[in-house]
Structure 1
Amino acid sequence: MMLIATDLDGTLLRADKTISARTAAALDRAAEADLPVVLVTGRPIRWLKLVYEQLAIPLPAVCANGAVVYDPARDQVLRADPLAPDVLAEIARRLADEVPDAVLAVEIVDGREMRHQVEYPILWDSAHGGVRAVDAVAELLTEPAVKLLVRAGQRDPDEFTARIGKALHGIAEATHSSLSGLVEVSASGVTKAAGLAWYCDRLGVPAAQVTAFGDMPNDVPMLAWAGRAIAVGNAHPAVKEVADEVVASNEDDGVAIYIESLLP
């Protein structure tokens, strides 16, 4: 059995965060042809509602860069692999040494809620519930978090991610999926590849039968794991480097065109 795994932002979704009519139709046809599709995203669960509202069928999702596997039909978390409080405390200590001006946020309750330092800029979460500011970093470290977010003003995203990754080597994974200087930190070994591999193993689908689509560095582990790796035309250079093929951009329905080529 073949399986399609696709990133959302910058890959399946257009810049305005909508799914085109052509893409929605391709996903419907895939369902009719029994070609499973799973969403693999850095987004937390609470950000998926606006996606599911555009789909005829709620597709399963690997969220938070692999830390959460979610079944929307039952609103059920099938698997979660969070950062433990003691690991969060060590991360916070290392970050305070490495980047004293860093401000932090955490995705908790499997990504249904977010807590952030008062100074942490909320750029995209104003439309989502479950977000609360706290006065002290210690308040962010008391319960498991499926993702920790790091900002320190305007930074080159690739350089800043590499710096944070070096500081957290051995205890956590660091990646990024935007150009805003945001670094996303997950538990050690937790990547989109790991979350997708767990889901595929559950279905009995080997990596060789998975075709994966992506556009940003957080997609690289998934693309390296999948049997067929596809970069959209607007992808980051690191993604195109590991891809087997480059298709049209997210604005030009690259994923939909490829899925259409697989269907009768």
Structure 2
Amino acid sequence: MGQPPRLIATDLDGTLLRPDKSVSARTAAALERVSAQGVRVVLVTGRPVRWLDLVYQQLHAPVPAVCANGAVVYDPVTDEVLRADPLAPDLMAEVVRRLRAEVPGVVFAVEVQDGRLMRHGEDWPTHWNSDHPTARLVATPEELLSAPAVKLLARSTQDPEVFVKTVAGAIAGLAEATHSSYSGLVEISAAGVTKAAGLAWLCSRFGLTAADVIAFGDMPNDVPMLTWAGRAVAVANAHPTVREIADAVTASNSEDGVAAYLEELFALGSPDRT
């Protein structure tokens, strides 16, 4: 990347956010100061739209987001979904059929209404998300798959790395499979839907190309975006597959690695580190 980047694309969990899911004052300040120089900032995350409010509350200004691993492009200023690329119900039914044949005990949930609502069955593991107001229990598998979904979630007790390879093999050519955690959770999107595809679409609206973009990430679902961007930066805590393809490695998310890299790149100095 010979010229300074014109757009910063950053993953959230494990990358921009600290382990407690907070945005540090240092990170918020770095993004604000870069934006003041005319550089665009875009959040590129596996999170659905419904999980973004807590992040925006910690930033100085709302910025666009590519959500659900590229399936949704969101404008927080207008609360508008600019683009959505969901899985069709019949396609999801085929994905579920194949995975049930390959992985005994696999369970499913879906992100519907452009990621503003999650649906899950009684067999979905109970945790905070299942009790959230934007999560809804459904009575039957047919109801679960009755509407287009921007993400199909599959969970298993298998080894996470084995599980994601099994899923990817079973649905090859039908849909995209990736993961963004070290638990047995695989995130499934429509064919061709990746963080790179969603970000490329948004950059095109801005009149920008991959060469204008610097991207930060930590997990396998970030790899398409990182390989597409003009410069790819992994945080020190990144998955090995991310570190292998990155152009540079910055400090970990617990050490505000994104902010540290931006401070040096844009000669911002180091403000309050709290």
Tell me, yes or no, whether TM beats 0.5. yes
Q: Conserved in 1, the CA contact under 8 Å of 2:86 and 2:149?
A: yes
1:34 maps to amino acid: G
Are residue 54 (structure 1) and residue 58 (structure 2) matched? yes
Q: How many angstroms does 1:231 deviate by?
A: 0.2
- Paired residue secondary structure (1:180): coil
Aligned mate of 1:179, from 176, 179, 182: 182
Q: Conserved in 2, the CA contact under 8 Å of 1:47 and 1:128?
A: no
Identity across matched positions, percent: 65
Distance in 2 of aligned mates of 1:253 and 1:191: 25
Match of 1:211 in 2: 214
Are residue 255 (structure 1) and residue 258 (structure 2) matched? yes
Q: Conserved in 1, the CA contact under 8 Å of 2:153 and 2:185?
A: yes
Q: How many angstroms does 1:88 deviate by?
A: 0.8
* Number of corresponding residues: 263
Q: How many angstroms does 1:234 deviate by?
A: 0.2
Aligned mate of 1:91, from 92, 95, 99: 95
Are residue 36 (structure 1) and residue 40 (structure 2) matched? yes
1:128 maps to amino acid: H
Match of 1:133 in 2: 137
Runs of 4+ in 1 over 3 A off after TM superposition: none
1:160-218 Cα distance to aligned partner (Å, 9 max, x none): 11110100011100000011110000000100010001011111111011100000000
- Paired residue secondary structure (1:202): helix
Distance in 2 of aligned mates of 1:208 and 1:124: 40
Listed as ranges, the gaps of 5+ residues in structure 1 are none
1:50-90 Cα distance to aligned partner (Å, 9 max, x none): 10110110111000000000000000000000001111111
Aligned mate of 1:142, from 134, 141, 146: 146
- Paired residue secondary structure (2:31): helix
After TM superposition, the score normalised by the length of structure 1 is: 0.97
Q: Conserved in 2, the CA contact under 8 Å of 1:104 and 1:137?
A: no
Q: Conserved in 2, the CA contact under 8 Å of 1:102 and 1:150?
A: yes
Distance in 2 of aligned mates of 1:9 and 1:129: 21
Distance in 2 of aligned mates of 1:151 and 1:106: 11
The aligned runs of 1:108-257 (5 Å cut-off) are 108-126=112-130, 128-153=132-157, 155-257=158-260
2:44 maps to amino acid: V
Q: How many angstroms does 1:49 deviate by?
A: 0.6
Q: Conserved in 2, the CA contact under 8 Å of 1:81 and 1:190?
A: yes
Q: Conserved in 1, the CA contact under 8 Å of 2:130 and 2:136?
A: no
Q: How many angstroms does 1:126 deviate by?
A: 4.9
Change in CA separation of 1:64 and 1:31 when aligned onto 2, cut-off 3 Å: same
After TM superposition, the score normalised by the length of structure 2 is: 0.93
Distance in 1 of aligned mates of 2:91 and 2:263: 44
Aligned mate of 2:79, from 68, 75, 81: 75
Listed as ranges, the gaps of 5+ residues in structure 2 are 268-274
Are residue 10 (structure 1) and residue 49 (structure 2) matched? no
1:222-260 Cα distance to aligned partner (Å, 9 max, x none): 001111000000000000011000110001111001111
Q: Conserved in 2, the CA contact under 8 Å of 1:176 and 1:183?
A: yes
Distance in 1 of aligned mates of 2:115 and 2:128: 15
- Paired residue secondary structure (1:38): strand
1:204 maps to amino acid: G
Change in CA separation of 1:124 and 1:174 when aligned onto 2, cut-off 3 Å: farther
